Amino acid sequence: MTDVLEALREEIHAGRGISEETAARLSHSGIDDAHLEAALRDGARACAGGPLLVDLAIVLLQCVDRRGVGMAALDDCLARMSPPERLIVCGRMVHVKGPAAVAWCHARVVATGSGGLYHSFLREHGDDVIRLCRPEMDAYLLAPQRRPDHYFVDVYEILLLHLDDPAPYVRRWLEWIGDGRFDPYPRPESGPALILYKILREHRDNPAFAPIRDAVRRHVRALLAAGDADRVRLGLYHVVAMVDAQYPEHRLFISPAPAGASRPGAEQG
């Protein structure tokens, strides 16, 4: 059984990458977990940086998922990687299968700070994350600095569909609307209103989204009635985003032209 470990050591020292055969044999070998864990950690420490380290980390992730071993070795690898390399490896965590691996990977996905990666991970493993990682998930997603940009509004959409008690996420969404976080300026970190209205269109009959629909309606009405040119412009931005998203509530803010009224620019007879 130790021949697979020797093959791993040879491939690491040769710097040519880990073969698919060695990767498959590692995760399915009959080596006891403690021995395999120690050997994997030794291999991680001996591995040079760069693409070979990324290659080894992906192999270790298979061991984490299939055998429940290799976590310490994989953490050693992640600690030595650049942020882009770490994001490559953590991106593979979307594809793990076992609930224990999902729970372990969740913390590493959170550590990347990538909203897009978290969205992909939650879309694939939402039920397991909610069941096994709810406190950590809430701490990350309800942090005071959390904003609706960088896919986080899409993450909230998933949670409103899956949680039995989405109230904290509904409250934060209402805060975003009231604070103008879907307005295009002056906040550069604002979430795009177009995405908001596509979400509301997709779930226009879902009662979980009703408070958000009501809050948006009040917000846009207040902007359009403000009497201030800049705020009216913001309100019109929302109406245009509704039209672009094919969100039917834009009709609440657009009055049809009276019968017989001439079109702007039409020649007068």
Give pLDDT tens digits for 160-189: 999 999 999 999 999 999 999 999 865 555
pLDDT at residue 268 is higher than 80: no
Phi, psi of 158 (to 5 degrees): -60, -45
Distance (Å, rounded) from C-alpha 18 to C-alpha 7? 9
For 177, other C-beta atoms within 10 Å of its C-beta total 22
Distance (Å, rounded) from C-alpha 78 to C-alpha 223? 47
User: If you compute the radius of gyration of the chain from its CA atoms, what whole number of angstroms results?
Assistant: 26
Residue 79 is predicted with a pLDDT of 96
Distance (Å, rounded) from C-alpha 194 to C-alpha 245? 6
Q: Which two tokens stand for residue 59?
A: 């192999």
- With pLDDT > 70 as the criterion, what percentage of the chain qualifies? 90
> What pTM, to 2 d.p., does this model score?
0.86
Domain boundaries, the chain: 1-81, 93-141, 146-254
Max CA pair span of the chain: 95
HSE at residue 129, side-chain half, CA atoms within 13 A, is 29
pLDDT at residue 267 is higher than 70: no
Tokens 């307005």 belong to residue: 183
Using pLDDT thresholds of 50, 70 and 90, give the confidence band for residue 140. very high
